[in-house]
Amino acid sequence: MQYIVLYSSRTGNTKKIAEAIGSVLPAATPCLPVGEAPVDLNAYDCVFAGFWVDRGSADPEAQQLLRQLEHPRVALFATLGADPKSQHAADSLSNAAALRPGGQPLVHSFICQGKVDPELIEQMKKMFPAGHPHAVDEKREALHKEASKHPDEADLAAAKAFAAETVKRLENLG
């Protein structure tokens, strides 16, 4: 089986996850930013596609890839600032998955938390007054504090387990 890992990452969180995934795949597996993706992905049995969550879906660069990704076997992975067990996380994955023209079910998916750019937090503080749904209140501060620790070793281990499980599923598909 041949795999390729393609990712979009603005501040490095998703890149770390992509590299963890790549580390458990065969040594020759390419692990590239989406901008360097080969035009023809048919040589690969599965495409691991990664993005950072931007307003509840894939970030713009990853969206560009996903909108053209007709490959039947895709494993999607992402990082986000919010709780990875939240409905927002699940919705972000399914919104991104739905961008693909083929609409085939994903082989597998993975999402974990990633630190939020401090500049974005400062912008949010200035932009959103108290009471606004995006205001940086105590709850959001706590979320950002937790996010600042991620991706951590446990996330990287979980990403590796996701890659291993994806390989197993592909082998079972034959």
Single out the segment in contact with ligand FMN by CB under 6 A; choices: 6-14, 36-44, 64-72, 103-111.
Answer: 6-14
Residue nearest to ligand FMN (CB): 114
**Phi-psi map region of 68: left, alpha, beta (phi>0 left; psi -120 to 50 alpha):** alpha
Q: What does the alpha-carbon distance between residue 166 and residue 170 come to, in Å, rounded to a whole number?
A: 6
Residues 56-95 that bind ligand FMN (CB under 6 A): 56, 79-82
User: Angle at the Cα of 162 (from 158 to 165), degrees rounded to 5?
Assistant: 135
One residue of 53, 66, 76, 99 binding ligand FMN per CB under 6 A: 53
- Binding mask 105-144 toward ligand FMN (x if CB under 6 A, else -) reads ---------xxxx--x------------------------
Burial profile 131-150: b = 16 or more Cβ within 10 angstroms, e = fewer: eeeeebeeebeebbeebeeb
Q: What does the alpha-carbon distance between residue 23 and residue 64 come to, in Å, rounded to a whole number?
A: 25
- Asked if residue 109 lies in contact with residue 166, where contact means CB atoms within 8 angstroms, the answer is no
Residue 15 C-beta: closest distance to ligand FMN, Å: 6
Query: If you count them, how many residues does the chain have?
Result: 174
In single-letter form, the type of residue at position 139 comes to K
One residue of 19, 45, 54, 146 binding ligand FMN per CB under 6 A: 54
Q: What does the alpha-carbon distance between residue 155 and residue 158 come to, in Å, rounded to a whole number?
A: 5
Residue 146 C-beta: closest distance to ligand FMN, Å: 12
One residue of 28, 39, 40, 55 binding ligand FMN per CB under 6 A: 55
Single out the segment in contact with ligand FMN by CB under 6 A; choices: 40-48, 53-61, 130-138, 166-174.
Answer: 53-61
The yes or no reply on residue 52 touching ligand FMN (CB under 6 A) is yes
Q: How many residues bind ligand FMN (CB under 6 A)?
A: 21
Binding residues vs ligand FMN (CB under 6 A): 9-15, 52-56, 79-82, 114-117, 120
